[in-house]
Amino acid sequence: MTQRGTLWLLFGCLVLLQFGYPVTNYGPWWTVGYLLLYGGVIFYGAREIAIHPRAGWPIVPGVILLVAAAVWFSLNQGEKQATAILLAAVGIFQLMLLVILVRRLLQPSHHASTIDMLLIAVSAYLLLGGVFGVISSELEFAVAGSYIDATSADPVTWQSLFYGSYVTISTLGYGDIVPKSDWARSLASLEAVLGTLFVAVVIARLVGLGGSRWRKDTATHEADAA
């Protein structure tokens, strides 16, 4: 598979993972199918390791931890501890992948096209929201009541907190998933700031790369004409 093909695979899997989590409410087999989507993300990570061994090696322990946690969770669905461990493994893996994508965004290869850079940027943004979703879920597991759902009296689930993470990072502020504790509010503030800065930095980076390539192409054409 080509480099762009793996980027499309990563993007597609992340979209399904980050926004398809409601299927986990339909039963254990739906949850197993949902977890299998990480196979596409792991495939992208394996390709990165093959191409850039030094930069990609941190993904290896992340993949091992994720696979082990996913297998254990599949056998012990419904246990709070299994869910917490799986989410922690997901967060660590996504954070490692996020670091690699941000590095590629800041130091793109000479062969990377505009489409490649856009896929990398959007995938990194999705991962950032996912990482904060994991952190807020772990905070709720550790200190129950850190978040409240204004639309329901039931305890806040990790699915609701993933939704709340993307609402926060995009600064929509619907007000249904509300951080109650001081740490939860601090985390929400940090996510909103980082999300805004990420978009601003990415736009500036893409514009800078586009301008640099345009000047290079112009200079090349002028040299050829001379």
Q: Could you give the angle at which helices 28-36 and 38-51 cross, rounded to 10 degrees?
A: 20
pLDDT reported for residue 92: 94
Tell me the domains of the chain and their CATH numbers: 3-225 (1.10.287.70)
pLDDT per residue of the chain (226 residues) written in tens, 0 to 9 = 777 889 999 999 999 999 999 999 898 899 889 999 999 999 988 887 777 777 667 788 888 999 999 999 988 888 889 999 999 999 999 999 999 898 888 887 777 777 888 899 999 999 999 999 999 999 999 999 999 999 888 889 999 999 999 999 998 888 899 999 999 999 999 999 999 999 888 887 777 666 555 455 555 555 555 5
Q: Which of these, 214, 184, 224, 199, lies nearest to 114 by C-alpha position? A: 214
pLDDT reported for residue 223: 55
Q: What is the CA radius of gyration of the chain?
A: 20
pLDDT reported for residue 216: 56
The Cα–Cα gap between 113 and 94 comes to 24
The Cα–Cα gap between 79 and 63 comes to 22
pLDDT reported for residue 61: 86
pLDDT reported for residue 172: 87
pLDDT reported for residue 146: 95
The pTM assigned to this predicted structure is: 0.88
pLDDT reported for residue 109: 72
pLDDT reported for residue 209: 67
Tokens (6 digits) for 105: 């965004």
